[in-house]
Structure 1
Amino acid sequence: MGPLTKRTQGRDLRAFWLLAPTMAVLAVVIAYPVLRAVYLSFQDDAGLNEETGRFESGGFAGFQHYLMWLTGDCGTGAGSCPDGNLGSDFWQAVGITFFFAVVTVAIEVVLGLWMATVMNRTFVGRSLLRASVLIPWAIPTAVTAKLWFFIFAENGIANKMFGTDIAWTTDPWTSRFAVIIADVWKTTPFMALLILAGLQLIPSDVYEAARVDGASKWKQFVHITLPLVKPALMVAVLFRTLDVLRMYDLPAILTSTSGASPTATVSILVVDEMRSGNFNSASALSTMVFLMIFAVAFIMVKFLGANVVRTQEEQRKGVR
């Protein structure tokens, strides 16, 4: 047992030294910025102290920045309240962010499932179709935003095609749906690709047995395709939800970069705050964004992950 224990410990120690450089790089690139942002979120911005009338470099502010974003109360002391960025802007940005997440992910699930079902069939030119479908996803987001900006311009293709005079990028609700259309066009292929990977794992014998039993196409889809593709579908939904919650470049380029814009997400609010020079309050807001995304990811993994594990267990039992 002695030599075996030493050899086991030696392997564990060698594995540690092999992983140490990577962990050190991750600590510098990821851990330090996160911890630094959290630290700055509790510091006051430098500015004029309203009580003393002097310019101060700031100090410990406690939860002042967090309360400012949640309630709109800026408090007193060095670092005045950022102009126009109060609690109302934060909750509006949160509502817009979740609105984009729910609507875009729901549409992408339907379209992605349909596209994956079509690409999973055997026909001439299937490889060409799969490659061409990925083109919108491969285009950089900034290029996509500019492309749709020209389409939704006042004299753009959309208004000329439908004979309308819609303010696609300035009207509050129209601009939101313009962002949704552009995002769905770009990221639906990614959703379809993940779902297609799940469809290809389904044995063809299952569908043949269903056809022999007289099951219609709809019953095959409901009772075979959906249950068996559920693990891949849940992973796709999780990835896309977390991606939309941190959306910045598409609405910022397509409509506006202002924090008061009707399409301003929380990430746009963070960048707008940094451009205003309020780095500490921006750090508090970015920390809240991190906690929001972490909470959504935890809830989805907790519930959707359990469903995926349960589905896989049921599949193994069915095979046995």
Structure 2
Amino acid sequence: MSKPSDTTAQSRSRLGALLVSPALVLLAAVIGYPIVAALVTSFRTDPTLRDGFFTTGGEFAGFSNYLHWLGQQCGDTSCPPGTLGDQFWTSVLVTLFFTVVTVSLEVLLGLLMAIVMNQAFAGRGLLRAVVLVPWAIPTAVTAKLWFFMFAYDGIVNRALGTHILWTDDAWSARVAVIVSDVWKTTPFVALLLLAGMSGIPGALYEAARIDGASTFQSFLQITLPLIRSALLVAIVFRVLDVLRIYDLPAILTHGGGGDGHATTTLSILTVRQIQQGYGGASALSTLTFVLIFGVALALVRVFRVNLVQSEQHGMS
């Protein structure tokens, strides 16, 4: 079969570009314009909003909006405690704390759930369907459900025999958010890992048993290496999700707890700032984007190196 001529290839390329151009234009209007507008606004004093678009109001402010949030400049004085830079760094720490704890728990519990669901037993299909229920429930509904469960006279206190104000104390409010998020999203991680386990040939485990390998050794030497890709995808997805978390803590604890900032994530702080001024909110959203982009880039590079090394090790 002969290869297509250069003219045919060029015509196909032009046709492909023509077909995807409407989607590109739509993406530029829906995604590109807001990003550019937010970036421009972050370097200006607060503009006014008209018909959903920023007007030319507001003066050029340089990096003052960024310096305000980073705590390096608050007018002519340093930032007082609990404002501006202090709020920003507190929300960064809260967001990173939620990310590390929830993703770690979800990966561990999701791996255990995937191992159980990968076994052959009666009712396995029903179990897999039931596991999807928490993930299928809207996040707002999940947050309200756990809000009632963590109430002073709710199910949690009754079951534990405690009298804890879960959504009012700083650390108990964080625990409430972590438990709610882990309950909802662990099934997502479990299903991703289960998909990876389902593709492992049973002959590998049979050969390992013949060689005298224990179940734990088979897990370490066969299961973990072969689900590495699914595991890394689950980690990246969940890390990016938690870094942008808003609705769960906003509804469950109103972004407060204890000192009023115990569960205030970067997304919650950004929404609050929008009510006070678009210039500062745009700078804050840009800083949030830079943080998420940096973490995503680091994860992709580290995991890509790990995948390449594992593939080279498997070929050697």
Work out whether the TM-score is over 0.5. yes
TM-score of the two chains, using structure 1 as the length reference: 0.90
Map 1:76-225; keep pairs closer than 5 Å.
85-225=83-223
Distance 1:127 1:64, change over 3 A: same
Deviation string, structure 1 residues 42-62 (Cα, Å, up to 9, x no partner): 011269xxxxxxxxx630001
Which piece of structure 1 moves more, 172-181 or 66-75? 66-75
Aligned to 2:54: none
Q: CA deviation at 1:313?
A: 4.3
Deviations 1:278-303 (A, max 9, x none): 11100110011111100000000001
The corresponding residue for 1:13 is 14
In structure 2, the partner of 1:299 is: 298
Q: Name the counterpart of 1:255.
A: 253
Output one character per residue of 1:92-130: Cα deviation in whole Å (capped at 9) or x when no partner: 000000000000000011100000011111111011000
Identity of aligned residues (%): 53
**Where do 1:224-263 residues align within 5 Å?**
224-257=222-255, 260-263=260-263
2:38 — aligned with what? 37
Residue identity opposite 2:189 in structure 1: M
Alpha carbons 2:47, 2:279 under 8 Å: kept:
no
Distance in 1 (alpha carbons) for counterparts of 2:154 and 2:22? 52
Provide the rounded CA distance (Å) in 2 between the counterparts of 1:26 and 1:82: 41
Matched AA of 2:290: L
Unmatched 5+ residue regions in structure 1? Answer: 48-56
Partner of 1:271: 271
Give the CA RMSD over aligned residues: 2.1
Counterpart in 2 of 1:51?
none
**8 Å Cα contact 2:270-2:285 kept in structure 1:** yes
- Structure 2, unpaired ranges of 5+: 49-56
Deviation at 1:84, TM superposition (A): 5.8
2: CA distance, partners of 1:198 / 1:210:
19
Please give the alpha-carbon distance, in whole angstroms, between the structure 1 residues aligned to 2:179 and 2:243: 16
Distance 1:22 1:197, change over 3 A: same
Q: 1:20 & 1:150 partners in 2: Cα distance?
A: 48
Kindly tell me: are residues 122 and 191 of structure 1, through their superposed partners in 2, closer, same or farther at Cα, counting changes over 3 Å?
Answer: same
Q: Which amino acid aligns with 2:170?
A: P
Provide the rounded CA distance (Å) in 1 between the counterparts of 2:58 and 2:5: 59
Q: Is the 8 A contact 2:255 2:262 kept in 1?
A: no
Question: Could you tell me which residue of structure 2 aligns to residue 65 of structure 1?
Answer: 65
> Aligned-pair distance for 1:241?
0.2
Alpha-carbon contact 1:42-1:280 (below 8 Å) kept: yes
Within 2, Cα distance between the matches of 1:97 and 1:111? 21
Aligned match of 2:53: none
Aligned mates of 1:247, 1:35 — CA distance in 2: 23
> 2:7 is aligned with what amino acid?
K
Contact 1:257 1:272 in 2 (8 A): no
Q: What is the CA–CA distance in structure 2 between the aligned matches of 1:22 and 1:214, rounded to whole Å?
A: 56
Aligned CA distance change for structure 1 residues 127 and 235 (closer, same or farther; 3 Å): same
Give the distance between the partners of 1:210 and 1:202, measured in 2 at CA. Answer: 13
The two structures have a TM-score, normalised by structure 2, of 0.91
Give the drift of 1:228.
Answer: 1.0
Q: Is the 8 A contact 2:41 2:47 kept in 1?
A: no
CA distance in 2, matches of 1:104, 1:134: 18
Distance (Å, rounded) in 2 between the aligned partners of 1:309 and 1:9? 34
Distance 1:269 1:41, change over 3 A: same
**Deviation at residue 201 of structure 1 after TM alignment:** 1.3
In structure 2, the residue matched to 1:75 is 75
Give the C-alpha shift of residue 15 in structure 1. Answer: 0.6
Q: Deviations over 1:127-150 (max 9, x none)?
A: 100000010000000000000000
SS in 2 for 1:106: helix
In the alignment, which residue of structure 1 is the partner of 2:24?
23
Change (3 A) 1:31 1:219: same
Q: Which residue type is aligned with residue 151 of structure 1?
A: M
Asked if 1 retains the 8 angstrom alpha-carbon contact of 2:71 and 2:85, the reply is yes
Does the 8 Å contact 2:90/2:261 carry over to 1? no
TM-aligned CA distance change 1:293 to 1:238, over 3 Å: same
